[in-house]
Structure 1
């Protein structure tokens, strides 16, 4: 079944989606710096298996609207976009799947609207409960200082001009980003997530970085075209809202995800250097965690690096859910 793209008008936002199939809705949420096309393999397999697979370009990305103000990119806005999208698709429930930044959005969809998002499947970034001790960026800075490895890139992204080096050369930024976090990249050349003084997210990756084995030139050209046109400000604004998200979600303190859930991560995903601590306690926060798996040798771009392995686990999870 061939996938197609279209625009959908939701509450105050025009969303561009990639979709295929008919049947129960499965919503696929991408992360940074990705697009709906990051889910091509999943959209096709899900459609063939009898599901309606929908992958949107998220707010600030690709063909979807890009509000100008940083305050428009909070977690409640992002969850609201997905609620609106489900309604615009004419559905009353779905399974939500998220990768990278899309995983926190998916986790919060399940946390906030379990009536609508009946199950959640997270890739690469585990659910991280709200810290009672205070907002996240000061904690990140303290950890970085203690480790002495430089600043966590998320801290660097807080700067108002952090997107400018990306906008100056989107092709190089994307090539290095995909290479630095890929499972096929040797240990000594992988990004760690920490940036020494005088360097930035792009410069820490070797200049001779190549496209990962799974990334063809035509596929890469789609990313370059989208980010050249839309820029990186909106995507980085997601990061700039982290402390505001913490302030806006006091009502979620100690809340648990009650719907059926799964979490899959690549063994060599550099994100585990700073979010891996949350993997061990997932069952405490997600009582109905039905799958928690590590894919050997895989890096961060899990659904693109290892589509067959991700698809097998995703279909297994979906088939185990109530009809």
Structure 2
């Protein structure tokens, strides 16, 4: 990013090297430290419209490439256990990075898989996380009984069928070169074929027959697309898909939290009203688990962070100021 306040850094977190963006505001003492967690198929740069905004507000901003993405390590599964990509492991790595950066408290925000990470991190490390916000991703309570993804898709979430495809091992077989990665990213960020052909179907997954038909996305300009392609070409797409292979591992680890289903921190949830996967009705019971919840929404697709950045930032600003992070506030 072309902002002198933002540096590209690395840290070894629980044995693996992470790349992260570290933003330092012009003020001597930051109001607080904000961690921003991306999802799939994204990178730390996915928060590019929020990082300068939060710096302008006086926050320090830390944005990692999550495990398997970009310049962060991408251990293969197998031979490594899939637990490396679990929500607990991600939460523990965030906590370790905060410790290394000397941040005893952080505000934690997420989008997509990053949204799931922040909910669980708030439960695994409540002493660290003072405030939570999620864009698009609703809270999902921890279940005592395991429900396989196949059963979830057959039941109330048929539009999660894409997750079965992403976990299957088929996708990396045809997205395996710089060219196919480029076409994949264009399609995932809204690019379509000449007759409206789409690459992504929520119920089916990635439509291989359309990958060569996809044209440019309006959400990623050429420079940004080049950056994404370069970063995704470092390790390929396999490692990013391991996040979709962790359902059983997450359930097993999260049994330890089954009696801690409440997120007690002040929380903001921003719903994207046109999200084809994380639909508005999925968030209807969040108040049951989050007593200090503020709701808001933007008329956007899943890519609200880059599609409606001014609106997202305005909501964040209002909420953060309401939490006491005004001009003279500090944590």
Question: Which of the five TM-score ranges fits, normalised by the shorter chain?
Answer: 0.7 to 0.9
Where 1:194 maps in the other structure, the secondary structure is coil
**Cα–Cα, structure 1 residues 218 and 152, in superposed 2: closer, same or farther, change >3 Å?**
same
**Could you list the per-position Cα deviations for residues 31-51 of structure 1 after superposition, in whole angstroms to 9, with x for gaps in the alignment?**
001101111111111111100
Is the aligned partner of 1:155 residue 2:171?
no
**Cα–Cα, structure 1 residues 136 and 261, in superposed 2: closer, same or farther, change >3 Å?**
farther
Give distance in 2, aligned partners of 1:210 and 1:219.
15
Q: Which runs of 4+ in 1 moved over 4 A?
A: 186-192, 204-208
Q: Which residue of 2 aligns with 1:242?
A: 247
1:93 CA displacement? 0.6
Is the aligned partner of 1:47 residue 2:55?
yes
- Alpha-carbon contact 2:132-2:268 (below 8 Å) kept: yes
1:134 CA displacement? 2.0
- Alpha-carbon contact 2:167-2:244 (below 8 Å) kept: yes
Where 1:152 maps in the other structure, the secondary structure is helix
Residues 179-258 of structure 1: matches in 2 within 5 Å?
179=190, 191-195=200-204, 200-203=205-208, 208-254=213-259, 255-258=261-264
Give distance in 1, aligned partners of 2:278 and 2:89.
26
Count of aligned pairs: 308
Unaligned 5+ runs, structure 1? none
Unaligned 5+ runs, structure 2? 325-329
TM-score, with length taken from structure 1: 0.88
**Could you list the per-position Cα deviations for residues 39-95 of structure 1 after superposition, in whole angstroms to 9, with x for gaps in the alignment?**
111111111110001111011111111122233211111111111111111110110
Residues 1-323 of structure 1: matches in 2 within 5 Å?
2=4, 3-22=6-25, 23=30, 24-68=32-76, 69=80, 70-143=82-155, 152-168=161-177, 169-179=180-190, 191-195=200-204, 200-203=205-208, 208-254=213-259, 255-273=261-279, 276-289=280-293, 291-296=294-299, 298-322=300-324, 323=330
Give distance in 2, aligned partners of 1:262 and 1:138.
31
TM-score, with length taken from structure 2: 0.86
RMSD: 2.4
**Cα–Cα, structure 1 residues 288 and 218, in superposed 2: closer, same or farther, change >3 Å?**
same
Where 1:46 maps in the other structure, the secondary structure is helix
**Could you list the per-position Cα deviations for residues 78-119 of structure 1 after superposition, in whole angstroms to 9, with x for gaps in the alignment?**
111111111111110110000000000011111221210111
1:4 CA displacement? 2.0
**Cα–Cα, structure 1 residues 109 and 249, in superposed 2: closer, same or farther, change >3 Å?**
same
